[in-house]
Amino acid sequence: MNAPLVSVKGVEKRFPMPSHFLQLKKPVLHALRGVDMNIQRGEAFCVVGESGCGKTTLGRVIMGLLEPSAGEVHYEGTRIDTLGEGDRRPFRRKMQMIFQNPYASLNPRMNVAKTLAEPLKMLGDGMSAADISAKIDDVMAAVGASKEWLTRLPHEFSGGQRQRISIARALITDPDFIVADEPISALDVSIQAQVLNLLSKARQERNLTYFFITHDLSVVEHFGDRVAVMYLGSVVELSDVAEIFERPKHPYTRLLLSAIPRIGGQAFSAERAPGEIPTAVNPPAGCAFASRCPLAHDRCRVEMPVLRDAGGGAMAACHALD
């Protein structure tokens, strides 16, 4: 196996919650509970999970928007999570991010030209104005935006157009690695297809590596090479996309797959008991999924399973695999 482009080692992230100062057991939100993964160059690595599973936190830790409470993040073998702003600059250029909410990810007071010029001004090592302008034209063409957009403000654009501008901003520093945090979930179906196609094209043309965060397994099926399924702050299954859809190993993955509505599918035919994701504030010991799991036994409630080889190139964290 080649050396990974990005690797995440034992990353944990805890957020202290507001508490009374006399409270003995301080509430702590465990957003990430020991995440390991390697992202290979050129792949579309998807992270899928329901709200609160930590997938967005993981993306933000990788990008350095959040500091991990424990663990390490490496980029091409260099540990980056402890770097200061100055040492981090070369990595900032190579790593970019596309955000979920097209209505919040562009500064409402800055026109498109200024928005796109900013990363180059900060990271471009003194690029000339002409070079910056040429680069802007280049990415605008790449995302299918017209030149007239440059002088306009974000409120003049639709959600899909804004997301194109966001993608242009991410591409402008010629990154190798892009974290895309639910880039299409706020968009309408016909626009989702446009943006997803744009991301596919950018990947082919620029040999990009994606870290694609989504809650939608059908997008993973279409777009991803490998996928990590997360539940309550840890990875429960990590596998090739084809394998996971054909032979899901973890009971949570199976639940997730059975719940996706499809045209002509059967997701709603069997009624289920109300299943609740346990809270990530002071989570219980043992497997986080045990409370909803049909296979759960005593051991699952005391011992947290670790990710291990589950056959077919897949890894899963489940005691039932023993």
Partner 1 sequence: MPLLEVDNLEVSFGKHQALRGVSFTLEKGERLGIVGESGAGKSMAAFAVINLISEPGRISGGSVRFDGRDLATLPPEELRKVRGDRIAMIFQDPMMTLNPVLTIGTQMVETLQAHREISFAEARRIAIEKLDLVAVPSAEARFDSYPHELSGGLRQRVVIAISLLCDPEIIIADEPTTALDVTIQAEIMALLIRLCEDTGMGMILITHDLAVVSESCQRLAVMYAGKVIEEGAVNAILQAPQHPYTRGLINALPQMNSRGGLLTQIRGTMPGISELPEGCAFHPRCDFANAACKTAIPELRPLGAQNVACIHAGALKETV
Partner 2 sequence: MTRREFSARFFRDPGAIFAALLLLTLVMLAVLAPFIAPQNPYDPMQIDIMNSELPPYWEPGGEEQFVFGTDAQGRGVLSTVMYGMGISLMIGVGAVMVQAFLGITFGLLAGYYGGWIDSFLMRLADIQLSLSTLMVAIIALAIFQAAFGPGTYESLALYMLILVIGIAEWPQYARTVRANVLVEKKKEYVDAARLTGMPARRIMLRHILPNTMTPLLVISTIQVANAIVSEAALSFLGLGMPVNRPSLGSLIRSGFEFIFSGQWWITTIPAIVLVLLILSINLLGDWLRDTLNPKLYKGH
Verify binding: residue 16, partner 1, rule CB under 8 A: no
Smallest gap from residue 63 Cβ to partner 2 (A): 6
CA Rg value for the chain: 21
d(CA 39, CA 42): 9
Whether 123 contacts 175, CB under 8 Å = no
Smallest gap from residue 262 Cβ to partner 1 (A): 5
Verify binding: residue 17, partner 1, rule CB under 8 A: no
Verify binding: residue 92, partner 2, rule CB under 8 A: yes
Considering only 49, 52, 119, 233, the residue that binds partner 2 (CB under 8 A) is 119
Tell me whether strands 308-309 and 78-79 are parallel, antiparallel or unpaired. unpaired
Number of helices and strands in the chain (H, E): 9, 12
Stretch that binds partner 1, among 97-105, 109-117, 135-143, 195-203 (CB under 8 A): 195-203
Q: Which residue has the tokens 């702003």?
A: 85
Query: Contacts with partner 1 in 82-141 (CB under 8 A)?
Result: none
d(CA 153, CA 106): 9
Smallest gap from residue 313 Cβ to partner 1 (A): 17
Number of residues in contact with partner 2, rule: CB under 8 A? 27
| Apex 18 CA angle, 16 and 20, nearest 5 | 120
Burial (0-12, 13-18, 19+ Cβ within 10 Å), 129: exposed
Stretch that binds partner 1, among 74-82, 132-140, 210-218, 298-306 (CB under 8 A): 210-218
Considering only 50, 72, 76, 118, the residue that binds partner 2 (CB under 8 A) is 118
d(CA 274, CA 26): 29
CB closer to partner 2, 75 vs 99:
99
Determine phi and psi for 204, rounding to 5 degrees: -65, -45
d(CA 277, CA 254): 16
Whether 219 contacts 197, CB under 8 Å = no
Stretch that binds partner 1, among 1-9, 96-104, 145-153, 185-193 (CB under 8 A): 185-193
Verify binding: residue 89, partner 2, rule CB under 8 A: yes
Tell me whether strands 70-75 and 78-79 are parallel, antiparallel or unpaired. antiparallel
Verify binding: residue 146, partner 1, rule CB under 8 A: no
Interface with partner 1 by CB under 8 A: which residues? 50-51, 158, 160-161, 188-194, 196-197, 200-201, 215-219, 221-223, 241, 245, 255-256, 258-277
Binding site for partner 2 (CB under 8 A): 60, 63-65, 85, 88-89, 92, 95-97, 99-101, 104-110, 118-119, 122-123, 166, 169
